A and B are shown apart, each in its own frame.
Chain A
Amino acid sequence: MSSSHNAEQQGDMPPAIDLRKINKSFGPVHANKDVDLVVARGSIHGIIGENGAGKSTLMSILYGFYEADSGEILINGKLAAITSSKDAIYAGIGMVHQHFMLIDTFTVLENVMLGAEQSSSLKESKISARAELARLSVEFGLAVDPDAITGDLAVGLQQRVEILKALYRGAEILILDEPTGVLTPQEVNQLFDILNALRERGVSVMLITHKLQEIMAITDEVTVMRGGTMVATRETAKTTKAELAELMVGRKVLLEVDKSVAQPKEVLLETSNLTIKDDAGVTRLDAVSLKVHAGEILGIAGVSGNGQTELLDVLSGILPVQEGFIVLNGTTIDKKNVLNAKDFRHLSLGHVAEDRHKQGMVTDFSARECAIMGFQDEPEFNGPILMDNKAVTEHCVKLMDEFDVRPANPHLKAANFSGGNQQKLCLAREIERQPKVLLVGQPTRGVDIGAIEFIHQQIVQLRDAGHAVLVVSVELEEVMSLCDRIIVMFEGRIVGEMAASDADAQKLGLLMGNAGSNDQTSTQGASS
């Protein structure tokens, strides 16, 4: 299926994808409104927009997860009825999801052929799949060991497997949903090389992202979505980041964090040789010693899964200290002095959880119930026996007002707020107490650009008021622009520290991949 196309044919060829007047509603929410989109064959087309702008809905329609209420989909000029992902695959559309759809314990070969076996005999299927995989690897420069166990591969290589899976099914149109979220800068560059190779061979790529610099770096054309509609399509070469950001949000935005030089004072949070082993005995946090001063923002950079989660958990009382100790506002917490998350809060610690759906809030709760999480036992929310529900509601209204959470309805289910508003509510809950030490995990994950600016401002304000802030983020740009000092973690260890003013993406990237060379050898070792 995946034949290469000649460049000269392109002139009179119909576009790879032509969406006409796509509409989709979920109840009262109009997620896609008269969306038109044309993707030229053999091009990389970026789709950018805030959370809830309708990007994912549109891609889900194209890939057959949802059916459009109205509108037409033309693939290569022909009307296509796509009602399931099977139809989409048949039409030559492949999708690489943000969270990989791979079976960790299968080999690469098994993952690629799963569901698309050529024969009822597994052995024969494997032989033909192996040949096809070898051909694809050569044609597109996607080298992966077909016999490696998928779970052992580095994330960047797993993503290659996903791309191979799509190509194996004959995809000529590839949709990538936020593909760089889990990659190091070096891996991002490798991905872009692959995408360029795909484009040269006539594959059309749709790149969904919220990162402006990626759009600028790789795409030919870019479409901006806002509030379910297409607001603009631009030739990438003729636009700027600032223009795109403005189109996305509908107003001018500040892309850099506006902050003065930090004035660090006394140490408010200190750890010494903190070590955490998980239930399987694997060391997740390896002798971490760090200090956070009043009046500074310390950033923890690293590819996700290198101990940052465990660090936040142990610093907030979710995980007990196993080895080493923590000094928080003069109180020592170690193996003998076990405190839970509530006790940590009483020592004036605030914690905005890394993953608000997993920890920081309960999506089935109403906003007002989420707004007292961690403070449910405070006297201000409780009567002698019953909870003071009126005080709880009033508290939520106050937080919503101060942090501009929209819609300002304390009774609305938390799940029905956009990511940015959920995050603002979590941040409001923690900052409102003016904790001396604030831990923030992924301050702007899944948060739209308009809210990012606001969240950064709030964190900087807290710093300027003399509080200590520790930020964990996988977004390098964020760490570099928001933080005053940066620590890089790799496999549970601190592998580097520098002032934010000395940091650049290259330097941090090398540390994050542990000098880059190690990354390559470790994956090879695992696959052999």
Chain B
Amino acid sequence: MSNKTLPAWVDVGVLPLLNVCLAFIVSGFVILLIGESPLEAVKYIITGAFGYDEGIGYTLFYTTNFIFTGLAVSIAFHAGLFNIGGEGQAYIGGLGVGLMCLSLDNFLPWWALLPFAIAAGAAFGAAWAFIPAYLQAYRGSHVVITTIMFNFIASALMVYLLVNVLIEPGSMAPQSRSLMESATLPSMQDLFAAVGIDIANSPLNVSIFLALICCVLVWLLLWHTRLGYSIRMIGFNENAAVYSGINTRRIIVITMCISGGLSAMVGINEVMGAQERILLDFVAGAGFTGIAVALMGRNHPIGIVIASLLFGALKQGGAELSFENPDIPNNIVVVIEGLVILFCGALTLMIKPGAEKIFLKLTNKKESANV
């Protein structure tokens, strides 16, 4: 009943914004506690994230990763599955991307290689998600537990492969050889240079377009295909899905594989776009941030883009903050992120009753004023 009292724009727009503000206010107190000025911190974060073109580049680069993992978490969420394994799926997906690139970069330019890399990455990510999905659908092992465990397995597996198999001969660093220049994705700097605009170098590359295309595809999938219809029905009401003759186990497995495949696209951005090699821990928490992104973005592609931008800016601005002011520890960004997740995810309903009352009072006043 109560969700009828607020118009959609307040529910989807104003409330999350208020929640983010609350998270920032509390973060401000934390910074005060360690004896620094919150206002100065905000200044550093904002200028760090958006103040100059290199900063913007980094912000959007991180945003790209978060869009992929955010979409991955959200599509699983639509089927009622909580995929915590984005981190591992992205890691293994990146392995797929890297292997494909390493084997073909001598023969193909990046634009010809890209489809193969996407396919290989998606296949690896999907395969990594398939096992927990199968166990969930056919054996009842909870996907939250198994995907968490698969993150650790992925991590251990990658260390083994990088140290023992993929390492460049003669090198001490556990990473693969660099990809051929012709096989790496064009950076945004190259792209702008082609039309005569000069911008600073940053890891931002054409993967961001892939991310936006994925948003459209996910939107089409969820709301314009039979599969999406089945996915959402299972998420809302599994009994109704069985009543409708939907093979719920099969759909659960398919959904998780799509989710894993989307996470794997982080590998395109990182391995093929930025690092130009496979290295240790290149996912760097993007899989987990994706959970927060999906929560904040209300599992809708548009919301996910906005939330990704926020978290991308936090990551870049936070790095800048600890660089400019070494007294503020780097981990403060983790605290801020945690608070954003807390307020937008766990406490999302906390301010709702109050906001409802205020909103109703305001509208009532308006109505009585009109009378």
Closest Cβ of chain B to A349, distance in Å, is 11
Residue B325 interfacial (CB < 8 Å): no
Residue B236 interfacial (CB < 8 Å): yes
Residue A373 interfacial (CB < 8 Å): yes
Interface residues of B in 207-248 (CB under 8 A from A): 220, 224-226, 229-230, 232-233, 236-237, 239-240, 242-247
Contact B243 A351 (CB under 8 A): yes
* Interface residues as binary, B1-23 with A (CB distance below 8 Å gives 1, 0 otherwise): 11011100000000000000000
The stretch of A192-200, A293-301, A336-344, A481-489 in contact with B is A336-344
Contact A374 B245 (CB under 8 A): yes
Which B residues are in CB contact (< 8 Å) with A29?
Answer: 4
What is the CA–CA distance of A361 and B240 in the complex, to the nearest angstrom? 6
Contact-residue bracket for chain A: 20 to 34
- When C-beta atoms are compared, the residue in chain A nearest to B245 turns out to be A342
Which A residues are in CB contact (< 8 Å) with B232?
Answer: 365
What is the CA–CA distance of A160 and B242 in the complex, to the nearest angstrom? 37
Closest Cβ of chain A to B216, distance in Å, is 12
Contact B247 A362 (CB under 8 A): no
Known contacts A26-B1, A340-B247; A359/B239 CB under 8 A: yes
Residue A238 interfacial (CB < 8 Å): no
Closest Cβ of chain A to B338, distance in Å, is 30
Which A residues are in CB contact (< 8 Å) with B243?
Answer: 316, 318, 341, 351, 353, 359-360, 373-374
Known contacts A386-B220, A386-B225, A387-B226; A343/B237 CB under 8 A: no
What is the CA–CA distance of A322 and B232 in the complex, to the nearest angstrom? 30
Residue A466 interfacial (CB < 8 Å): no
Contact B244 A373 (CB under 8 A): yes
What is the CA–CA distance of A419 and B60 in the complex, to the nearest angstrom? 48
- When C-beta atoms are compared, the residue in chain A nearest to B234 turns out to be A362
What is the CA–CA distance of A345 and B246 in the complex, to the nearest angstrom? 12
Closest Cβ of chain A to B219, distance in Å, is 11
Contact A342 B224 (CB under 8 A): no
Which B residues are in CB contact (< 8 Å) with A353?
Answer: 243
* Interface residues as binary, B323-356 with A (CB distance below 8 Å gives 1, 0 otherwise): 0000000000000000000000000000000000
What is the CA–CA distance of A318 and B245 in the complex, to the nearest angstrom? 8
Contact B224 A387 (CB under 8 A): yes
What is the CA–CA distance of A359 and B242 in the complex, to the nearest angstrom? 8
Which B residues are in CB contact (< 8 Å) with A376?
Answer: 226, 229-230, 244, 246
What is the CA–CA distance of A364 and B4 in the complex, to the nearest angstrom? 13
Residue in B220, B226, B245 whose CB lies within 8 Å of A317? B245
What is the CA–CA distance of A345 and B237 in the complex, to the nearest angstrom? 20
Which B residues are in CB contact (< 8 Å) with A385?
Answer: 225
* Interface residues as binary, B240-264 with A (CB distance below 8 Å gives 1, 0 otherwise): 1011111100000000000000000
Known contacts A359-B240, A360-B240; A365/B220 CB under 8 A: no
Interface residues of B in 305-337 (CB under 8 A from A): none
Residue A123 interfacial (CB < 8 Å): no
What is the CA–CA distance of A389 and B211 in the complex, to the nearest angstrom? 26
Which B residues are in CB contact (< 8 Å) with A317?
Answer: 245
Contact B220 A27 (CB under 8 A): no
Residue in A27, A362, A377 whose CB lies within 8 Å of B236? A362
Which A residues are in CB contact (< 8 Å) with B239?
Answer: 358-359
Contact B236 A364 (CB under 8 A): yes
Residue A382 interfacial (CB < 8 Å): yes
Residue A369 interfacial (CB < 8 Å): yes
* Interface residues as binary, B276-297 with A (CB distance below 8 Å gives 1, 0 otherwise): 0000000000000000000000
* Interface residues as binary, B173-217 with A (CB distance below 8 Å gives 1, 0 otherwise): 000000000000000000000000000000000000000000000
What is the CA–CA distance of A60 and B220 in the complex, to the nearest angstrom? 42
Which B residues are in CB contact (< 8 Å) with A318?
Answer: 242-243
Known contacts A27-B4, A27-B5, A340-B245; A387/B225 CB under 8 A: yes
Which B residues are in CB contact (< 8 Å) with A340?
Answer: 242, 245, 247
- When C-beta atoms are compared, the residue in chain A nearest to B237 turns out to be A362
* Interface residues as binary, A11-48 with B (CB distance below 8 Å gives 1, 0 otherwise): 00000000000000011110000000000000000000
Closest Cβ of chain A to B250, distance in Å, is 11
Contact A341 B236 (CB under 8 A): no
What is the CA–CA distance of A361 and B239 in the complex, to the nearest angstrom? 9
Known contacts A362-B233, A373-B243; A386/B224 CB under 8 A: yes
Residue in B1, B224, B244 whose CB lies within 8 Å of A341? B244
Residue in B4, B6, B240, B247 whose CB lies within 8 Å of A373? B240
22 contacts between A and B (CB under 8 A): A27-B4, A27-B5, A318-B243, A340-B242, A341-B242, A342-B246, A344-B245, A351-B243, A359-B239, A360-B240, A361-B240, A362-B233, A362-B237, A363-B237, A364-B237, A365-B232, A373-B240, A373-B244, A374-B245, A382-B226, A386-B220, A387-B225
* Interface positions of B (Cβ within 8 A of A): 1-2, 4-6, 220, 224-226, 229-230, 232-233, 236-237, 239-240, 242-247
* Interface positions of A (Cβ within 8 A of B): 26-29, 316-318, 340-345, 351, 353, 358-365, 369, 373-374, 376-377, 382, 385-387, 389, 416
**Which A-B residue pairs are the 6 nearest by beta carbons?**
A342-B245, A341-B245, A27-B4, A359-B243, A27-B5, A374-B244
